[in-house]
Structure 1
């Protein structure tokens, strides 16, 4: 029996794209905790059924049955502030006016059966988490003993998840042992998708309120999903060098009764949301992704593996079409974006693995939303049962307009948005 333990430390700087969770609807691999600790590299899924959603060809070397359950949880915190200036226009401090905290969690399941040169795979996993919560207090100015009573909220609430049922397989021809080929398909399905935006006024009559009318709109959205197709190749160049190539063709998806639609804020040249009840259907053409990765196993007494990967997401293909009284489109014509990932795993003589990874992801929206993230992880094994662990912490700072501006207000600068979160991840794998 091997008992593996370690200290998990994380430090990262990431883009705050939780606000854009309903805009950036690309196809995301659902990695195991081991692969995520190694920067999110596909070759880190070697012989594991989780390779189904990144590069299925990696899962060829799977002796017998293998089952995997992965769970993730995020604790997210968002702070929004505006600068306070003195009478001479000098900066004094940032005044926080929003501080939101909330949890997001999901889980995925994989199963596979194979031999030394083939495998069949099945999985049910999240593809895109759509959750985002924004709540800004509205207070009334009075001269009573309670000078700023709470009278309402500005709210943005997105909830729901796009899940995927995936099937696939991998094969290595006997005459070409250096080559592995894999294909998979993912049927997309929506789960409890809701979109809400507006102002909620508490039931407290106050003559000082500019309005006592609740304008919060909540839409129960139906989802029609397409199919993501994925192909992969693995080249075993030498015993120590492995190359992988993968291409994901993202399927078209539809939202019926979307309610909240996306448009381009001309002052920011960034996406913004608005309510439009006349829209009956939203059709999204999602971007495809090309991936290339390398694994190197150094000639070392203790087992060590090094990973590197580059992903190209074709964000220029993203297009939203809104059908209602009129047909409108949101086609931002963004540049294609790269993601670079590296990872290293070292196994000590006691059998304890220590994993570290780094990833840099370009954002199609704006450079200040680019992400640099550091990953660490470990795990332990009891006979045929393996538990892998990964922890991440990230923080982002970007600037955005006030989501609910005061009528006639003139801001000297945009709000500063700070988003931070802690992500924990575990994968339990059982081999039979």
Structure 2
């Protein structure tokens, strides 16, 4: 038996190469302290202190049948083939980095003691099998732990050690872990909303919708047709609280609220260009009508059973985008042409702009015309002011140029001029992200 402490613990665990572990807490850096490929079985406490993302990683590596939950586990036992470590150290950076807590323990090679330790770990595993006998039971507990973990971070109880997650690496563990919803615009609150000045973001629902706190909403903007408006970037909203009767817009009076002044959380996955495009592709696919804004009264409830399939479809769409060649400039130019001509047809029919624009479009392609017209102090600004007057700046060359999907057709000066012109026409107008 050898006494170990500080940095000796890391060295000892590497020498042991644990194949079985019984430990209270597991952190996001668990792979740094053991040989992941050697691990066969683990018993862990699914309570705050264990990072839920680490549990998902371990389950993917060794299978859920080899991950066991025991709520009141406090032991720390690391079993290798010929030796073991026992002590105060959890499988976390705080316990093993030698820069956090002061930890100590023993390395064991005595055959009899190893048999006793294996028997003890077997007993923990049997208790865990009674507490959480199925993968479904483990996933349900993990979903609760994720909510508790996020709440603890928001309240400053624990440090956020999460890493950014890509869409294809995201693994949901419950059916209502996130909601995918279109935004209802600005919400007029009732006096049920306490301290409205601290509301960072909000979303309203039917009173009958079973929306829960400590969940995430993937928010997107809808067009009049009910499909996503690609001019606007989707965003995440974390639900800190749910307030019944919090909004004046009947029937959408239940409000999910995110507050200011709380620690930042890492969202379920990053909304990269690939994730955004995948979201819009799935919403436009026709396979998930429950999510679209074309119902007389929209409810989140019908979307919940469809969420696993929806997220799988998003991941597949993102992977196709990643592995396929990027859209050619020619195809992008063609799409920009179509968008501009559609916008100008509407503007001309409503007399927002002069008919001279029609002649210019016959003479120049929309991309070339945009570069010629969108300049400081150019003649287009009279048309832009007219669009602003009628609340139709989204039909302008400038606004369409700034749509994320078209920004690559223009240089920085073109886009800066577009933003400048829009601010001049209407300082309150929020252009699309580019």
Whether these two folds match at TM > 0.5 is no
- In which range does the TM-score fall when normalised by the shorter chain? under 0.3
More strand by share: 1
More helix by share: 2
Query: What is the TM-score with the length of structure 2 in the denominator?
Result: 0.23
**Which one has a bigger Cα radius of gyration?**
2
Query: What is the TM-score with the length of structure 1 in the denominator?
Result: 0.23
